[in-house]
Structure 1
């Protein structure tokens, strides 16, 4: 049995998948999430933890005391705050793997906090949605301790590649990719919904198919709508970090900022149950119709 004691800060979708997937590879697996302080919000987390055999900690301090490998999987805007909170309680030599989609500047700030506390910080750029890959999701690691951790994670069945000993490189790769991927999601939603409002979708999509024949544009549209409806708030937070990444490079992030606004807008409507009961089998049109009806 490995002597690794794994601690996940953030027991949401990603944290839950990583805990369950790595439990058999480590000596212990525990998690903490801010939602555990709310009895109602904590209920599904407690149920999942009981099902997966994961110990839930009462605080960040308790988690750090029980862990020598800490993974942070929280919302992008909390990247530095979580590193600061963990730094007060880390055991010396603890490896801190930051899975969050934050800018290179935010990752460097988080690293300075962890390293000053005697920990070993490694940044990760998670390169696609964790489901359905699970722990096999491709991720790029960066920082002075990245190579050693990549070897360790790969032995556990993960797809981890160290790309640079310099902090910020792995995050820059991830963020630049998100300009395209998350931006394409926003563009598809705007294009398809507008086309359907005008009744011209049967003309527009074939032209896309002709130009990019390797993409199933109808299916891709359904997937994009469904992911933004489900995770738009988290995607919007990531895109604000992408905008910070562009600013840190010296450019104005017009596209990234607009993508964040579009993602947040859809997420806000989803929170109002605009898409409740949508059958994904009906395709992207079912989502577009809800948006069109809402705009009338």
Structure 2
């Protein structure tokens, strides 16, 4: 089996290390920063060959081609290789381009009878290498999933809509990065007032008490009735933080969101008292 990478930075190098432990005969790589690099041996099974340009690489017989270039170069790369790539190759876009850009790329490729897979990396490459969790969407996702176990890859299909894997990653990032920023603001405030350990234990005790699914349900539902009161509470919190010279980025964002929830009058749309979090969100989105 031969596997290609256009763009051979951290993504390509880390995945290649893991792939070389499987029945992968050749890794083909192109990166403008590595044009003078010499061929190498990744393992007793796998050779690494560098190419002088993307088109030269795309002409090779490959089972999978991964494109892992900077997002700004993604459309350009796919446009360049669409005339030379083998139609039997599984085409995987690992870039951080937006879903709109990936849909545009897919349209470009469909003009030549091909389709890409939108792929979102959901873990640490240096930890997992080729086994990093990857979510894919696109018409031929099952083809990649069939091959994945043979080369130690951890692939999950989301659906057949190019762009949805990227949307999933973006939305998930709202939580992961947003939670990280929120915790900074919380613990910055706590440490400044010398109650950091007490706050730490109070929060962890609360979060460890219930299944996280139940926490999501409870937290979203509770604002249906209490958003107005919480607006005022958080305005007081914001003033308290400013009095202590603490920046209020996440706190002020919370106030803005609570105001939106209050203005939505969600109770008027939730007649069934046994509503679930998804009912609340649907009512909010329909406001």
Q: Which of 9, 12, 15 does residue 12 from structure 1 map onto?
A: 9
Partner of 1:238: none
TM-superposed CA distance for 1:197, in Å, is 4.9
Matched, 1:112 2:110: no
Residue of structure 2 equivalent to 1:66:
60
Give TM-score, length-normalised by structure 1: 0.60
Shift of 1:189: 3.7
Matched, 1:135 2:130: yes
Provide the residue aligned with 1:222 in structure 2. none
| 2:17–2:130 CA contact under 8 A, matched in 1 | no
Match of 1:25 among 23, 26, 31: 23
SS of alignment partner, residue 165 of structure 2: helix
TM alignment of 1:227-242, pairs within 5 A = none
Distance 2:200 2:76 in 1: 44
**Cα distance between partner residues in 2 of 1:75 and 1:185:** 25
Distance change in 2, residues 1:186/1:114 (3 Å): farther
- The answer to whether the aligner puts 1:164 opposite 2:162 as a matched pair is no
Matched, 1:56 2:50: yes
Distance between the aligned counterparts of 1:108 and 1:138, measured in 2?
Answer: 22
Q: Is the 8 A contact 2:18 2:131 kept in 1?
A: no
Structure 1 residue ranges without an equivalent (≥5): 40-45, 215-253, 259-296
Distance 1:12 1:195, change over 3 A: farther
Q: Secondary structure of the equivalent of 2:87?
A: coil
Is 2:90 the counterpart of 1:95? yes
Classify 1:197/1:149 alpha carbon distance in 2 versus 1 (closer, same or farther; 3 Å).
same
Tell me the distance in 1 between the aligned counterparts of 2:6 and 2:82. Answer: 12
Aligned-partner Cα distance in 1 for 2:81–2:178? 33
Once the two structures are TM-superposed, the CA of residue 180 in structure 1 deviates from its matched residue by: 0.9
Q: Which has a greater percent of helix?
A: 1
- The reply to whether residue 155 of structure 1 matches residue 150 of structure 2 is yes
Give the aligned CA root-mean-square deviation in angstroms: 3.0
Is the radius of gyration larger for structure 1 or structure 2? 2
Asked if 1:75 corresponds to 2:70, the answer is yes
TM-score (ref. length: structure 2): 0.62
Aligned twin of 2:32:
34
Query: SS at the partner of 1:11?
Result: coil
Secondary structure of the 1:141 match is: strand
The structure 1 residue matched to 2:116, chosen from 83, 105, 121, is: 121
CA displacement 1:203-228 (0-9 Å, x = unmatched): 432232222238xxxxxxxxxxxxxx
Question: What do the CA deviations read for 1:124-155 (whole angstroms, capped 9, x no partner)?
Answer: 12222223122112222211111112111233
Q: 1:60 to 1:181 in 2, by over 3 A?
A: same
Q: What residue ranges of structure 2 are gaps of 5+ in the alignment?
A: 210-248, 254-287
Shift in CA distance, 137/117, structure 1 to aligned 2, threshold 3 Å? same
Q: CA offset at residue 195 of structure 1?
A: 4.4
Question: 8 Å contact 1:73–1:98 — kept in the other structure?
Answer: yes
